[in-house]
Structures are given as C-alpha cells and as structure tokens.
Amino acid sequence: MINRPYLSSIAFRLPFAIALICVLVFSLAAIAVYGLQRAREEMAAYGLQAFSSLAKASLVSRQVSDLVSSAPFLMNATSPYRVSSESRSVVAQVDTLLRTMQPEDGDKTVRGFASARIVELLETIRNQTMTLAGDADSAQQHKAEAAAALGEIATGSGIADADLRHRLNAIVQSASNSDSLFQLGELRRRYVTETTPRLERASPDTRIAAAELAPYERVFEAQTRYLLEMFSIRAAVARLHVVSRDLSHATETQSEAVARGLNEDLVSTSDALSRLLVIVAFAALLVLAMSIFSIRSVMRVSRGIVSLSNGMNALAEGRRDVETPSYAGSETELVRLLEAFRAFRESVERVSRLRRTAEAAARTIRSTFRTMNEGIALFDPRGAPITMNRRVMELVGWSGSARKLPLRRFVGPIPEIDPALLPADGDGGTLGSRSVLRHRSPENRVTEISLSRQPDGGIVLLARDVTDIDRQEAEAAKAQRLDGIMRMTHQVSHEVGNMIGIITGSLGLLEREAGFNDRQKRHLARIRKAADRGRSLAGSMLSIGSQQPIRPGAVEIGTVLRGMADVLEIAVGEKCRLVFDIAVDLPTVQLDAALFEQSVLNLCLNAAAAMPGGGTILIRCVKAEGGVVVSVTDDGIGMSPDAVDKAFEPYFTTRDGEGGAGLGLAVVYGFMRQSGGDARILSVPGEGTTVELSFPA
C-alpha cells in the first residue's frame, strides 16, 4: 500500500504530473481530430448549400430577364393593369432574391457570393420596376379618365347638331383608341377643324358652348397623358431589358467564379486538413516519446533531490557524520547542488560556533541592558517605543506599565524637557543636536537626561542618577567658595591681630605711667577690654581660617561625648532632651579634644535654637568606612537648600534678630578642615536638620 509521505514526494508527484499532461495532450489531440473531421464535413455541406443558392439566384435572374424581355409584347397585347401587376410580381421576386443572398445569423459568408455588382443590378431592377409599376398605374388612371369622358359623351345630350355630334363622337372614339401621339395629333387637328367655326363665327343658332365640348377636351387630354406614360413605360422596359442582360451576364460570371473559388477552397481545405491530421499524429507520437524520456529523467532527478534533502535534513538536525549524497546524472543544477552541499556541510560547524557565540553575546547584551545602572530607551521616528530597560523607567519616574507609552507622554514627569523637541504622530520634532539636562525630584534625587537623534530619525534617551556627582560638584563649589572666604578671613584676622597687638602694646606703656585720674583710668580700662575682645575675635577668625594652633592627640570620641553630657544638657536648656547613640569598639582618631568639644557644643546650641518649643537632640557616633562619623540631629524647623549651601560661610545666620553672629558652623568647618575630616548638613524644611562630622581613623 502506498504510504502518505510517498504521495507527497517529488518522486511521485512529478511523474504523475507528466503522465497527466500526456493524457491531456492526447485528449486534446483526439478532440482536435474529431473537430477537424466535423469541420471538413460541414465545409462540404456548406459548399453544397452555396451551389444551391447560386443556382437559385441564376434561376431568378433568368426569370427576371425573361419577364422583362417579354414586357413589350405583353404591353401591346394587354392593358397597363397587367404591366403593373407583372411589375409588382418582379419586385417581389427581386426582394426575395435579395433576402436569399443575405447570410442568416450564424452562417458563414461564401467567397464571391452576393457580390456588390449583382446586388447593385438587382437594386437597379427593383427601382426601375417600381418606377414602371408607377407609370403603369398612372397610365391606367389616365385610361380610366378617357373612358369616363367617353361615357359622359355617350350618355349626354351634348351638341344639338346631330351630324356634328356624330362626327365629333367618331373623332374622340378614334382618339381613345390611338396608340401614337402622331395619330392623336391628327385626330386633334380634325377635332379643332370641326369645332372652331362653331365657336367663333357661327350664328347664335349654330354656335356651340364651351361647356358642351369639355368632355371631348378631357378625352384628348387623358389620352395624351396616357400615351406619354406608355412612352415612359416603353423606355423603362428598354432599360430593364439592358439591365436584365447585364444581370444575367454578371450572374453567370459570378456563378462560375464562385464555383471555381469554392472548388479551390474545398481542395485547399481538404489538403490542409490532411496535413493537419498528419501533424497531429506526429505530435502525438513525439509527445509520447518525450513523456517517456521525461519520466525517466524526472525519476532520476527526484532520486537525487531526495538524497540531497535527506542529507540537508540530517545537517539541520545537527548530525556530523553525514556523507555527501551520490548522483550519477549530468544535470547541471544537481551537480551544483552537490557542490553547494559539500560547502554547506563544511560551514555548518563554523555557523554553529558563530551562532553559539552570537547567542552568548546576545544574552550578555540583554543582561547588561537590563541590569546597567544607566537607563536607556529607544523610540522610532514617530515617537513610538522600541525598547527600554527598567532603570530608565525608575529614573524618569514610571512603573513597568510605561513601556508602551509614546515619547512625549513618557517624558511627562520631567518638566524641563520641551515636548516640541520630540517626535509624535505627524510631527518629527525640532530636536537636532544632542540635548542634555538635569532634573531634580522632590526627594532631591538628581537625574541627568540625554536626548539624541539617530540617523533614521529615531530618538535615544539616556538617563543616569547623578545625585552623588551633583552633591560632589556642589560640595566642591562650596569648598572652593569657603576656601576663598577662609583665606580672606585669615588675612583679615592677621591684620586685625597686628593692629590689636600695637594697641595692647601701647596700652601697656600707658598703664605704667602715673598721674592718670580716675576718669582716664576708666577710659584705659575700656580700651583694654575692647582690645581683649578684639584679640578673641581675631583668634576665632584664625580658627575659621584653619590657622588656629591645634594640639591633636589620640582621642576616643565616645568617651569624650559621654563626658560632655552634663555640660550639653545645661547648654540646650530644659525644653530640649539629649539622646546619645554611641557605638562600641570605636577606633581612636587624631584631633584636638577641646576644639572637638567646642564644635559639638556649637552644634547642640544650634539644634536647640532650631526647636524653640523644645524637642529631642540625637547625638550619634558610629563607625564608618575608614573612620568615625559623629552626627547631631534635631527635629526642628529645618533649613532650605539655599541656607544649607551657605551655612558654613562666616557671618551667615538665620537668626539675625536673636543675636546669632553666624560664626558657630564656620568655626566647626574650620576645625574639621584642620583635623582632615569633613562636615555635611542634611536638612528638610519642617522636618529637622542633621550635621555629620566625619573623622579619619
């Protein structure tokens, strides 16, 4: 039993298709032979029909010729009525012949049949015969008018003179029977001779009235028109006689030509059909031979294709022990396929290695794309999303549902981006060169957004978190600004110290002098007090300028903080509560303990001032990477970002009306710089402030 795969194979379908084609070709050949045979039979029948039609046309032509030839004798022997009836019979015969010569629907026109000359002659005969019939009718009418006038003469009293009436009656009787205009003219002269004297010179007794002669006049007039019509009939009969001879000659000539042409066509058609039969038979034999050869070739080719297909499938399945298929034929395509198979087999392993490498690279790229710290999103020229990683959605401020948002909606959370720069449906956007901007979120997270256009018009959006970089840049700018302030403060404090030194030296010399009264001594005391205050201020300015002499030593910060608890509680007041969070096993640091205590005290005083209604001050000391971090936190009114940026500057204070000098945090900052550490302020308005002091271990 034939299985289903074999029915679907080339080895079965190609021979089956060729065999089916052969069957169809033989069927078509048989149909063609049958059709040609039928055409031959129909051609013979058509020739017989054409000969019959020509014979009928010749018969009708002879009948017309005979009728026209005998018309003059009939006209002399009979009345015009017979001429009219015979003419109408001829017209009917001509019409019948014309209809016979016109091919019916579906009939084929025979060469030479119903030529234009014959049709023209028949039309001429018909027209002349119709004219002849009209003339005969007119002659008959004139004859009837003459007969009516004779009847009126015969029945009426007419002319009173019997002898004259008898002579005139004889004249008009002869006139009515005359057959020539000459005879009728003689009779008319005799009539005029008889009637003229009676009309002009006769006496009233013999005079004839014109009304009495009216019937005689009508006889002569009707007979004259009758003879004229008969003359026209004779001329028409003569013309018909000539046309009939031409028609007979044309019909005979055309019949001979048609017969000769039909005979030649039949012979030619028969020969062509015979040749066609031979060609069809030869083509059938050739198709049979070619079919046998094609089936054998196709079977050989199909076996080669099956062998190649099996080898290719084996290579596609990953088998490495596939041998090159064998093929003994000489077909160019299969030989080239075998060569291509060898090359393909050699490259399969290389392609497999490349595919594995590409897959590994693709996995690496996908993993990198998904896990990279920077966000990236690609959009097409219409602003539709192509792909993006999760990081870009986090940085822009969207959840995972934003992957299908168009570009303009996707950047909606970033008001710094102008939507007109970006493409949308029907709008390509005005973005040209690369555009970079920064966005600060309400949580003080800073995101750098980069927009650039690809060569195909698409948009690449890059986003990265630059909060730390922004903070470092801000810190660097602030440090640079503070360094300038510190250098200026150091120079001022140095100059002030020199001047105060001169003042105090001169004041000491004055104080050694005697003879001052009490008032002058009070003035000197005030000068001394102002000089001492100036010296203290200059010392503070040296501390701010990181120029105050320090005496660092190994200090355990936790122990120092615990020892300051009583002093700090008194300094912050009863409304504020101190809370210590000090880690154990803290490393020692190199710093000046006295200046450290002064810095912590300044921070606690600032924290207490930020909480007028009281609150909690948290002092925390923890071990950090590479050192120790001490922080003072309050839950007071907090500071604005601008105030945080300027807090370490000398003489900057938010408590101008409360007596603050603005040197406390500046002193702390100067101390931290001299100690090799760093100070940082973290604050949110309305939520409190934290000041962190970082010391290296």
**Per residue in 376-430, pLDDT tens?**
888 888 888 888 888 888 888 887 677 788 888 888 888 888 888 888 877 878 8
Give the span between the Cα atoms of 412 and 150, in whole angstroms: 127
What per-residue confidence (pLDDT) applies to 314? Answer: 73
What per-residue confidence (pLDDT) applies to 493? Answer: 64
% the chain with pLDDT above 70: 73
Does the pLDDT at position 204 exceed 70? no
What per-residue confidence (pLDDT) applies to 140? Answer: 77
Does the pLDDT at position 656 exceed 60? no
What per-residue confidence (pLDDT) applies to 71? Answer: 47
What per-residue confidence (pLDDT) applies to 621? Answer: 94
The answer to whether residues 67 and 240 touch, using CB atoms and an 8 Å cutoff, is: no
148-151 CB contacts, 8 Å cutoff, 24+ apart = 148/218, 149/215, 149/216, 149/218, 149/219, 149/222, 150/176, 150/215, 150/219
Phi, psi of 386 (to 5 degrees): -105, -55
Region 199-227: mean pLDDT is: 71
Region 576-585: mean pLDDT is: 91
233, with CB counted inside 10 A (0-12, 13-18, 19+), is buried
Mean pLDDT of the chain: 75
What per-residue confidence (pLDDT) applies to 73? Answer: 44
What per-residue confidence (pLDDT) applies to 12? Answer: 64
Region 518-536: mean pLDDT is: 77
- What tokens does 564 get? 């300051």
% the chain with pLDDT above 90: 5
| Sequence-separated (6 or more) residues with CB below 8 Å from residue 545 | 486, 487, 489, 490, 493, 670
What per-residue confidence (pLDDT) applies to 419? Answer: 81
Does the pLDDT at position 6 exceed 90? no
Which of helix, strand or coil describes residue 445?
coil
Instruction: From residue 318, give the alpha-carbon distance in Å to each of 308, 322, 584, 646, 682.
Output: 16, 10, 66, 72, 64
Any alpha helices (H) in 452-517, and if so which ranges?
467-512
| Residue 617 or 234, more confident | 617
Percent of residues in the chain assigned helix, strand, coil, to nearest 5? 65, 10, 25
Give the range among 100-114, 448-462, 533-547, 585-599 with minimum mean pLDDT: 100-114
Does the pLDDT at position 157 exceed 70? no
Instruction: Read off the pLDDT of residues 624-653 as tens digits, 9 standing for 90 and up.
Output: 888 999 999 999 888 888 888 777 777 677
Instruction: Tell me the pLDDT band of 109, cut-offs 50, 70 and 90.
Output: very low
The answer to whether residues 417 and 447 touch, using CB atoms and an 8 Å cutoff, is: no
- What tokens does 213 get? 């002669």
Q: Which fold has domain 549-696?
A: Heat Shock Protein 90 (3.30.565)
Region 335-343: mean pLDDT is: 73
Region 106-132: mean pLDDT is: 66
| Residue 324 or 186, more confident | 186
H/E stretch holding 459: strand 459-465
Instruction: Read off the pLDDT of residues 229-238 as tens digits, 9 standing for 90 and up.
Output: 777 777 777 7
| Residue 536 or 396, more confident | 396
Does the pLDDT at position 617 exceed 90? yes
Give the span between the Cα atoms of 90 and 585, in whole angstroms: 151
| Residue 6 or 184, more confident | 184
The residue type found at 386 is I
What per-residue confidence (pLDDT) applies to 567? Answer: 85
> What is the pTM for the complete model shown?
0.34
HSE toward the beta carbon, residue 212, CA cutoff 13 A: 16
Instruction: Read off the pLDDT of residues 267-276 as tens digits, 9 standing for 90 and up.
Output: 777 777 777 7
| Residue 688 or 325, more confident | 688
What per-residue confidence (pLDDT) applies to 67? Answer: 47
Instruction: Tell me the pLDDT band of 75, cut-offs 50, 70 and 90.
Output: very low
Range among 80-94, 357-371, 420-434 rated most confident:
420-434
Residues forming beta bridges with residue 693, ordered by sequence position: 630, 679
Does the pLDDT at position 565 exceed 80? yes
